[in-house]
Amino acid sequence: MKRNIPVVGMACAACAANVERRLQSLPGVKTATVSLPTRTAAVEWDEKVITPEDMKREVNAIGFDLVIEADRSVKEIERREYTLLKRKTVVSWLLALLTMAISMGWLHVGGKDVANQCALLLALANIVYCGREFYVNAWKQARHLIASMDTLVALSTGITWLFSTYNTFLGDSTWGVRSMEWHTYYDASVMVITFVLTGRLLEMRTRKATADAIGQLVGMAPKTARIYQGERNAPDGSRQPIVEEVPIATIDKGDVVEVRAGDRIPVDGIVTWANSFMTDDGAYVDEAMVTGEPAPVVKRRGSMALAGTVLSQGCLRLRAQKTGDDTTLAHIIKMVEEAQGSKAPVQRTVDKMASVFVPAVAAIAVLTFLAWWGIGGSQALPQAIMSAVAVLVVACPCALGLATPTAIMVGIGKAAQNNILIKDAAALEQIRKVDAMVIDKTGTLTLPNPSIDFTKADNLGPEERETLKPHAKEAIQQLRDMGVELFLMSGDNEEATQYWAQKAGINNARSRVQPQDKEKLVESLQKQGRCVAMAGDGINDTQALARADVSIAMGKGTDVAIDVAQMTLMGDDLRRIPQALNIGRKTVAMVKQNLFWAFIYNIVSIPLAAGAAHLAGINFQITPAWASAMMACSSISVVLNSLRLKYI
């Protein structure tokens, strides 16, 4: 079994890494890949050895949840999660402002002891109601010797609150007798939780925008359909169709569905009847969703119509062949979902770093505490504690974990909106390196003339026979401008191959080739150190497609070619190939930007939080409250930066 399972409760890269490792460690699980932006786990397992219920139980044990029940709606869970998070954030801000006002003396509630006790209760209320999940999850994870962002938040706020509570009741007897000034830091513990919750709330809002491509595709599937049940006599003697509007989920294979102008076709099916004012035996369907072509296509009896396409003119009936999750639209949605949840090679390296990031930060915090205490003695104890807390808070693995997958998610979504279906993130990362491309001629570069008699084709010239696709020459020139060397391969004769190569603007062409010859060319180019893409549409291209670094199939090609290829171009517009290269290059550039800023953030902020500026004689240090605000901003900035891909 292979399935994308929604995961609830993840907040950082360490969370995703923990869930992934937990799933991978289970007997019967072959592969498990967890994506933080999509909040899904792509799991392949042996159902004879393990069940989804077993996996859910194991994931629950470390503080997360898998949504495997049919009656649980992920959208509803996310909606409730967002509503609860918003409520907790508002309450946390109210408690934070009150705590800040009391701690800073802006609000007078009595003497110092009364003020500290009021701040203690407010901070405790914030921890119990607003921050409870941080502590529960941290405890569950600690029992299994793992850690995440929850661990850092729980440690930092818990230590700050406990130290402040100690000072509230024993400050005078411990520090006062030594003539040492002492303080409480309830405002810091409250502000850390407040800023972390605010950051998660904003991140959740911005994350929704990264899933626009899926939302648009899902929106193409109608919710209801009209079942045609025959005809009856009308009072005027005419025949009227009998139709019943039913939910889309109730349609079965073999049902006849009636579609009217302006409706989206609800299933994949064969047209049984069609009519419009332009033709008595046909209706016009807008298939731009599948092919990208703007001109409507006429559908007559026997034609295939696809779910999600729009009947722009006329009326038609079709017999359902594929319904629900079996339709072409459903397969496209599944492919995009899987691709957005897949991991680029660079992400696997980042995940390994994220898995040791939290323990490393905890170690740095301990060293910071010991350094301050060792240098300043007991008088530096408050400074040592607050410096260690600031380090725990400021070091956020969220930005590091979001840097790659959010950019990949937006890039794949952008490609889908341009009728380029990408199967996995590795292809998107790899295509930017392509500097050589092998292109099949017939079906990929050219289209056969449908009006010719193929028994006499050998006596006809190339232009009379296999026409050049629209915009093919423009696409080839764009690829050449991008530094890609092109090779045309064809089983056709020398004259035809050279003719179409010259027409398209390709300098390298080979004729009379066999399928293995295409594969050998790809292999020879790879041995020269080239990154090779292969574009084809037929069974004879599958060997070369499988061998290539990046394989591209035409959407109107054979199912075998499409299954082998990492990318599928819907329709015949070859300009989508340079578009795919451009999207790949822009996406990887965005990933590098995100990783750079995520690393710079941690490299700069951790020493400043630890108090390194004091070593240079500069009286500056990041406080825990400011550390939490910076941590939230770092995650949000990565997501917002990735969203720029949508507008480039």
For residue 272, pLDDT beyond 90:
yes
For residue 227, pLDDT beyond 90:
yes
Question: Which one is predicted more confidently, 284 or 11?
Answer: 284
Confidence of residue 625 (pLDDT cuts 50, 70, 90): confident
Question: Which one is predicted more confidently, 313 or 564?
Answer: 313
Distance from C-alpha of 181 to C-alpha of 324, rounded to nearest angstrom: 70
Distance from C-alpha of 144 to C-alpha of 129, rounded to nearest angstrom: 25
Q: Is 481 a catalytic residue?
A: no
For residue 468, pLDDT beyond 60:
yes
Q: What angle do CA 527, 529, 531 make, to 5 degrees?
A: 105
pLDDT of residue 455: 47
Give DSSP secondary structure letters for 278-339.
Answer: S-TTEEEEE-HHHH---S-EEEETT-EE-TT-EEEESEEEEEEEE-GGGSHHHHHHHHHHHH
Given the residues 440, 541, 549, 573, the one annotated as active site: 440
If you search the block for the tokens 């496209």, which residue do you land on? Answer: 332
Instruction: State how far the alpha carbon of 159 is from the alpha carbons of 217, 287, 623, in Å.
Output: 48, 61, 14
Q: Which two tokens stand for residue 127?
A: 């921890």
pLDDT of residue 585: 92
Q: Are 492 and 466 in contact (CB under 8 A)?
A: yes
pLDDT of residue 178: 64
Question: Which one is predicted more confidently, 582 or 449?
Answer: 582
pLDDT tens, position by position, 117-157: 999 999 999 999 999 999 998 898 888 888 877 888 888 88
Distance from C-alpha of 495 to C-alpha of 509, rounded to nearest angstrom: 11
- When pLDDT is averaged across residues 10-36 and rounded to a whole number, the result is 88
Across the chain, how many H-helices and E-strands are there? 21, 20
Helix (H, G, I), strand (E, B) or coil at 266: coil
pLDDT of residue 176: 64
- When pLDDT is averaged across residues 517-530 and rounded to a whole number, the result is 92
Confidence of residue 211 (pLDDT cuts 50, 70, 90): low
- When pLDDT is averaged across residues 580-601 and rounded to a whole number, the result is 88
For residue 197, pLDDT beyond 90:
no
Distance from C-alpha of 478 to C-alpha of 486, rounded to nearest angstrom: 11
Question: Which one is predicted more confidently, 203 or 306?
Answer: 306
Distance from C-alpha of 360 to C-alpha of 395, rounded to nearest angstrom: 10
Q: Which of 314, 282, 274 is nearest to 298 (CA)?
A: 282
pLDDT winner (highest mean) among 49-58, 382-391, 495-504: 49-58
- When pLDDT is averaged across residues 1-19 and rounded to a whole number, the result is 85
Confidence of residue 214 (pLDDT cuts 50, 70, 90): low
User: What backbone torsions phi and psi does residue 110 show, to the nearest 5 degrees?
Assistant: 135, -155
For residue 645, pLDDT beyond 50:
yes
Confidence of residue 384 (pLDDT cuts 50, 70, 90): confident
pLDDT of residue 401: 67
- When pLDDT is averaged across residues 535-539 and rounded to a whole number, the result is 78
The residue ranges of DSSP E strands in 376-529, in sequence order, are: 420-422, 436-440, 485-489, 508-510
3-state helix, strand, coil in the chain (%, to 5): 55, 15, 25
pLDDT winner (highest mean) among 6-10, 91-95, 487-491: 91-95
Q: Are 434 and 530 in contact (CB under 8 A)?
A: no
Confidence of residue 408 (pLDDT cuts 50, 70, 90): confident
pLDDT tens, position by position, 420-445: 888 878 888 888 899 999 998 877 88
Confidence of residue 209 (pLDDT cuts 50, 70, 90): low
For residue 279, pLDDT beyond 80:
no
Helix (H, G, I), strand (E, B) or coil at 17: helix
Q: Which two tokens stand for residue 33?
A: 């890949």
Confidence of residue 530 (pLDDT cuts 50, 70, 90): very high
pLDDT of residue 562: 65
- When pLDDT is averaged across residues 378-393 and rounded to a whole number, the result is 82
Q: Which of 60-64, 281-285, 384-388 has the lowest mean pLDDT?
A: 384-388
Instruction: State how far the alpha carbon of 102 is from the alpha carbons of 120, 171, 183, 574, in Å.
Output: 10, 18, 13, 67
Q: Which two tokens stand for residue 501?
A: 């190569």
Q: Which of 2-6, 247-251, 449-453, 458-462 has the lowest mean pLDDT?
A: 449-453
Distance from C-alpha of 502 to C-alpha of 445, rounded to nearest angstrom: 12
- When pLDDT is averaged across residues 542-559 and rounded to a whole number, the result is 78
Phi-psi region of 444 (alpha: psi -120 to 50; beta: other; left: phi over 0): alpha
pLDDT of residue 454: 46
The percentage of the chain sitting over the pLDDT mark of 90, rounded to a whole number, equals 29
pLDDT tens, position by position, 315-327: 999 999 998 888 8
Q: Which of 608, 603, 596 is nearest to 638 (CA)?
A: 596
Mean predicted lDDT score pLDDT of the chain: 83
Q: Which of 54-68, 170-184, 251-265, 527-541 has the lowest mean pLDDT?
A: 170-184
Q: Which two tokens stand for residue 459?
A: 């006596």
Distance from C-alpha of 407 to C-alpha of 399, rounded to nearest angstrom: 12
Q: Which of 73, 69, 23, 16 is nearest to 43 (CA)?
A: 23
